[in-house]
Amino acid sequence: MTSLLWRIRYLHRRTPTLPARRRQATSAPLHIRVLGEKYTTDDYTNLSPSISSKLSKRLHAQKGHPISTLRTLIENHFPDFAHFSSLSPIVTPYQNFDSLSFPADHPGRAKTDSYYINRNTMLRTHTSAHEVEVFAKGTERWLLTADVYRRDEIDASHYPVFHQMEGAKIFGNDPSSIEQIEKETQRLERQLAASNIVTEDVQHISQTNPAQTSHNVRSSEVTAKNLKLCLNSLLYELFADVAGASEDDPLRVRWIEAYFPFTSPSYEVEVFFRGKWLEILGCGVVLQSTLDRAGVANKMGWAFGLGLERIAMILFSIPDIRLFWSEDPRFLSQFTHGKINTFKPYSKYPPSYRDISFWKPGRDMHDNDLYDVVRDVAGDLVEDVTIIDRFTHPKTQRDSLTARVVYRSFDRSLVNEEVNGLQDRVVSHLKEQLGVEIR
Ligand code: PHE
């Protein structure tokens, strides 16, 4: 099973690996309605009903919900930043990718990885999709919270909808503005020196993580350093208490060189928690082309993006990502807006699993197609799907796959008949929608 680190890695891949997919032979409707608007479908349409049903939920705006509390805590940490939280999840590939200088063949664009309403319309895969429009408003310091959508596997820490918070700060690319930023950095440095935090750093700039050609190296370093201090101080505020940071056992934060198409230099930040390094966020110095597109070519600055679920799971001890979507009072009533407390699991009902083996229809079925079918049938009753076997028949060259589907409800015991019914529907949907042959 993959680690929690997948979400940021997704943007790291540099080479295209995914095959183009054909439209399924089933009779898809010509139009679909999404958030009250009518859209024409085409060979890119892959938005499933279980995903559409999440578009209006906006957990980050539900007072008292852990996702919303975490958002508030982060907003309070950056008092002079503007807040955005109501931008539509429906964007164009231009916003999500091109405006951020993603190459034309970046794998994140594939319909196996992202949800498309049609070729020209998709669900944002990250909050960075809004960078250009927010910078274009002239906002220099801002935070933006939103639901984001990615096709992915199924387990306790993966869900195709999650929440991100983007933060950015830009300033004049001139000596006196840069000096101002250095002063802010020094203030933060003094504050953190008195805190129980130890950071493992990387060079601000290196050959593999360069300053942009349009930036002078010193300004780029000042920007990167300011970014690092601002985020170290945020992470200290969020994690020091739960991690029990003390003089003997300080909070440990680690900076790592990274790659994103829209920042340079770029970094990932990890926090050491319960014996493990957890990847918390991605960030970097904003690509000048982004700022040029936003009409603020004389500025420079930094941006970061963090996943709220991952952090909330740690802070509130929430063991399964599906719980964030629960409307059960046994979940929701445990939280008070603005406060962090430890979630007390209510009785965990037993899991039930079923295996399914089939021949794939051709070379163009992606594992994510299987996951979306299972989600559409079972919704939040599915806890985990693991591919337990794959092989290619030596004579026919056909690919076979065996998956184990774990069903479990948070609220009740699932009886065998219900699980069998779910599994039967998964099987028939796989046959009808994907054309697999059950073995
Ligand atoms: N958008 C990136 C992601 O989703 C995170 C990021 C934001 C990286 C801003 C750099 C700057 O993983």
How far apart (Å, rounded) are the C-alpha atoms in residues 141 and 139? 6
Q: CB count, 10 Å around CB of 432?
A: 13
Here the tokens at position 323 are: 């719980």
How far apart (Å, rounded) are the C-alpha atoms in residues 52 and 255? 36
Domain finish residue from 282, 303, 332: 332
User: Do 184 and 190 touch, CB atoms closer than 8 A?
Assistant: no
Q: What is the pLDDT of residue 12?
A: 43
98 within some domain? yes
Q: Fill in the DSSP letter of residue 158.
A: B
Q: Fill in the DSSP letter of residue 287.
A: P
Coil, strand, or helix at residue 209? coil
Q: What is the pLDDT of residue 23?
A: 42
Q: What is the pLDDT of residue 27?
A: 58
Q: Which of 6, 7, 8 to mutate to test the pocket of ligand 1 (most atoms within 8 A of CB)?
A: 8
Q: CATH no. for residue 365?
A: 3.30.70.380
Phi then psi dihedrals of residue 102, to 5 deg: -65, 135
Q: Is 308's C-beta closer than 6 angstroms to any atom of ligand 1?
A: no
Burial label for 417, CB within 10 Å (0-12, 13-18, 19+), is exposed
119 within some domain? yes
103 within some domain? yes
Q: Which atom of ligand 1 is nearest to the CA of 281?
A: 5
Q: Is 290's C-beta closer than 6 angstroms to any atom of ligand 1?
A: no
Q: For residue 134, give the amino acid letter.
A: V
Phi then psi dihedrals of residue 269, to 5 deg: -120, 135
143, 177: one domain: yes
Q: CB count, 10 Å around CB of 160?
A: 21
Distance 149 CA to ligand 1 centre (A): 14
Question: Which positions ≥6 away from 389 have C-beta within 8 Å?
Answer: 357, 400, 401, 402
Q: Is 128's C-beta closer than 6 angstroms to any atom of ligand 1?
A: yes
Q: Is 423's C-beta closer than 6 angstroms to any atom of ligand 1?
A: no
Strands (E), 92-160: 116-118, 121-123, 141-149
Nearest to 157 by CA among 279, 44, 309, 259: 309
- CA atoms 233, 191, 200, 247: torsion sign: negative
pTM score of the predicted model: 0.89
- Reading the chain (439 residues) residue by residue, the pLDDT tens digits are 333 333 344 444 433 333 334 444 455 679 999 999 999 999 999 999 899 999 999 999 999 999 999 999 999 999 999 999 999 999 999 999 999 999 999 999 999 999 999 999 999 999 999 999 999 999 999 999 999 999 999 999 999 999 999 999 999 999 999 999 999 999 999 999 999 999 999 999 999 999 999 999 999 999 999 999 999 999 999 999 888 889 999 999 999 999 999 999 999 999 999 899 999 999 999 999 999 999 999 999 999 999 999 999 999 999 999 999 999 999 999 999 999 999 999 878 999 999 999 999 976 899 999 999 999 999 999 999 999 999 999 999 999 999 999 999 988 999 999 999 999 999 999 999 999 999 9
Distance 305 CA to ligand 1 centre (A): 4
Q: Which of 11, 96, 124, 300 to mutate to test the pocket of ligand 1 (most atoms within 8 A of CB)?
A: 11
61, 90: one domain: yes
Task: Count the helices and strands in the chain (H runs, E runs).
Answer: 12, 17
361 within some domain? yes
Q: Is 169's C-beta closer than 6 angstroms to any atom of ligand 1?
A: no
273, 365: one domain: no
Distance 131 CA to ligand 1 centre (A): 11
Q: For residue 21, give the amino acid letter.
A: R
Q: Is 11's C-beta closer than 6 angstroms to any atom of ligand 1?
A: yes
Nearest to 91 by CA among 115, 62, 58, 66: 115
Q: Is 263's C-beta closer than 6 angstroms to any atom of ligand 1?
A: yes
Q: CATH no. for residue 65?
A: 3.30.930.10
User: Do 40 and 30 touch, CB atoms closer than 8 A?
Assistant: yes
293, 369: one domain: no
Q: Fill in the DSSP letter of residue 69.
A: H
357 within some domain? yes
